[in-house]
A = this chain, B = another copy of it.
Amino acid sequence: MTKKPGAREDALPAIAEVFREYGYEGASLALIGARTGLGKGSLYHAFPGGKAEMAEAVLDAIGAWFEEKVYAPLRDDPDPRAAIRLMLSETDAYFRSGRRACLVGAFALTEGRDGFADRIAGYFRDWREALAQALIRAGRPAAEADSLAEDAVLTIQGGLVLARALDDPAVFGRMLGRLDMRLVS
């Protein structure tokens, strides 16, 4: 009885990248196998549920990363303005200054079915609410904070779409600059 090491966790980043680039439908098992270096045997051993389970695991990992690195500071950091600045810089780093697509956004646009919808909605809802909380703690009125938070989350998504559509990562950087002015003036 050998233990199962983090083979699953090791493969996740590569799998995520394939989903990111090709979307759920476009990410074939052949592609995933090639990028992870894993054969079908290993893949289905680590993810018995197949492609759907891989997507769920990837979405969970992304959600956990943002929860830890972004949402938690927004909620708990004693300096809310610093937490918002951290959010902007972590976002810039995570999306490689606009060169990387947002998997959650891509899934949101195409998929309708599956249990993915809940995770996707949760990801954005958590972000919006954590940011609104930080804005309130920074002294903004509640209504303004809600509006500002929703605008920020949606603006980041739009920045990713436009940067990729125009094939111009600078769009993403300019958008973050404007967000910084709006959020922590």
Residues of A bordering B, CB below 8 Å: 21-26, 101-102, 104-106, 108-110, 112, 117, 120-121, 123-125, 147, 150-151, 153-162, 164-167, 171, 174-175, 178
Number of copies: 2
How far does the Cβ of A142 sit from chain B's closest Cβ, in whole Å? 15
A133 CB to closest chain B CB (Å) equals 18
Contacts of A101 in B (CB 8 A): 109
Q: A109-B101, A109-B109 are contacts. A147–B162 as well, Cβ < 8 Å?
A: no
Give the distance to chain B from A156, nearest Cβ to Cβ, in Å: 7
Apart from A109-B109, A157-B162, list 14 A-B contacts with CB within 8 A.
A23-B109, A24-B26, A102-B109, A105-B161, A106-B110, A108-B161, A124-B166, A150-B174, A150-B175, A153-B162, A154-B155, A156-B158, A157-B157, A157-B158
Residue of B nearest to A159 (CB): B154
Contact yes or no, A174 B159, CB < 8 A: no
Bound-state Cα–Cα, A154 to B26, Å: 25
Query: What are 25 A-B pairs with beta-carbon distances under 8 A?
Result: A22-B25, A23-B23, A23-B25, A23-B26, A23-B109, A25-B25, A101-B109, A104-B165, A106-B110, A108-B164, A108-B165, A109-B161, A120-B165, A121-B165, A124-B166, A147-B174, A147-B178, A151-B155, A153-B162, A154-B155, A154-B159, A154-B162, A156-B158, A157-B162, A161-B161
